[in-house]
Amino acid sequence: MKFSRSLLIGIPYFWLFILFLVPFGIVLKISLSDIQLSIPPYTPTLDFSEGWAGFREFLSALDFENYIFLTEDDLYWKAYLSSIKIATVSTFFTLLVGFPIAYSMAKAPDEWRPSLMLLIILPFWTSFLIRVYAWIGILSNEGFLNQFLMGFGLISEPLTILNTNTAVYIGIVYTYLPFMVLPIYATLEKLDGTLIEAAEDLGCTRFSAFWSVTAPLSKPGVIAGCFLVFIPALGEFVIPSLLGGSETLMIGKVLWEEFFSNRDWPVASAVATILLLLLIVPIVLFQRNEQKQREEGQ
């Protein structure tokens, strides 16, 4: 029995070791290497075939010049700050759009909820890349949105939306909206409706009852949704590449350029390592929030 329990617990840790710690160790190792015109395009600083002697040589020659280079070139820290800004703003707008949708789903009749849930999940049945490409046809100067607005006389000339940060915000909000809606809906669905009735009986208006009862009790779902949107949006590459312009600076684009255009794997690995460390903070906060919810539910 004890062995079976240990095996069950050990499987996710083994999975984490293989798919996270090992790749992270490889990236960290490359980030401490030097660039070289070869295949692969870096000089390995740690040779496992040499055993302990190779490890001691690695420690003696250890340097962090790639990380120092990131602090000296303002492109990288500006890309980090821009990514944090875009991810934060996108998360805010996703919450602004997603909360009313989740609230409406939770208040809908029981027989409607499966259909509404299906509509939220339905976009996942289509390729992510195809959905992003579709926004190019919608947001371009000759796209559906401008044609619609001009057809109703709301604008006299096409709006420039594509290849701007606005298009990136739209793409991220659309793409990650289900990740915001589903956890909030799961929280609101379990909300006891008698609490709202009690608040109204005590003199609260519907609006004040919402802010006094519904909003605080929906906090776990809101926090979970914000983390689920912010974490992948921070390292997003496809959306800013397809919908953003040359002035759209995100660390995912910089990382791709370093790996595939400049072929500077050591610097690119250093960029990826710092990005991962930035992501660990919200991930740890998210896990603590989940643990706190489980403890309160017991």
pLDDT at 196 over 70: yes
Q: Could you give the number of structural domains in the chain?
A: 1
Q: What does the alpha-carbon distance between residue 271 and residue 73 come to, in Å, rounded to a whole number?
A: 12
Half-sphere exposure of 28 (CA within 13 A, CB side): 9
Q: What does the alpha-carbon distance between residue 298 and residue 296 come to, in Å, rounded to a whole number?
A: 5
For residue 18, being part of any structural domain is answered with no
Q: What does the alpha-carbon distance between residue 216 and residue 141 come to, in Å, rounded to a whole number?
A: 43
pLDDT at 168: 94
* Collapsed DSSP state (helix, strand, coil) of residue 298: coil
For residue 133, being part of any structural domain is answered with yes
For residue 187, being part of any structural domain is answered with yes
For residue 64, being part of any structural domain is answered with no
pLDDT at 49 over 60: no
Show the domain range for 219: 72-297
Q: What does the alpha-carbon distance between residue 21 and residue 274 come to, in Å, rounded to a whole number?
A: 15
pTM of the model: 0.84
Spell out a b/e string for 227-236, using b for 16 or more CB atoms within 10 Å of the CB, else e: bbbbbebbbb
For residue 43, being part of any structural domain is answered with no
Between residues 245 and 50, the one the model is more confident about:
245
For residue 17, being part of any structural domain is answered with no
Structure tokens at 30: 């490359």
pLDDT at 89: 96
Each residue of 104-162: pLDDT tens digit?
999 888 888 889 999 988 888 888 889 999 999 999 988 899 999 898 888 888 888 99
For residue 185, being part of any structural domain is answered with yes
Triad 149, 173, 113: Cα angle to 5°: 100
CATH of the domain at 105: 1.10.3720.10
Most confident of 193-202, 217-226, 272-281: 217-226
Q: What does the alpha-carbon distance between residue 24 and residue 113 come to, in Å, rounded to a whole number?
A: 41
For residue 7, being part of any structural domain is answered with no
